[in-house]
Amino acid sequence: MARKDPEEARMLSDLLEFAEDLNSYGLMSKSSMAKIRSLCAPPPAYTSEQISAIRTRVAKMSQSVFAAFLNVSVSTVQKWESPRANKQPTGAALRLLQLVESRGVEALIA
């Protein structure tokens, strides 16, 4: 998914370049560099099937509970999971989906 704001993309690119320079001089740890890389990377685009799988297999939640965790409406989750609706998560909801997929729902609770 491409970033919509070119200024945001430029700032993230500059941040990543600066962090890589610090890392090359030994002024940044590998773990900090990995965190910055993951923060600067654009979130993936999920299909309706992938979103449904994240909810059912990873989070093991109903649509209503999952919607509450992501702070969206139940109808929004239903539209994300419907191939006919052709609605995609964006912004914070997209990042939260990525977080649940990679670290589990526990990452939202902690």
9 CA to centre of own chain: 16
Q: What is the sign of the dihedral through the CA atoms of 108, 103, 87 and 82? A: negative
The beta strands (E) that lie in 3-93 are given as none
Question: In CATH terms, is domain 48-109 a member of 1.10.10?
Answer: no
Q: Does an H or E element contain 24, and which?
A: helix 6-24
Nearest to 33 by CA among 45, 51, 21: 21
With beta carbons less than 8 A apart as the criterion, state whether 69 and 99 touch. Answer: no
pTM value is 0.76
**pLDDT by residue (tens digit) across 9-38?**
899 899 999 999 999 999 999 999 999 998
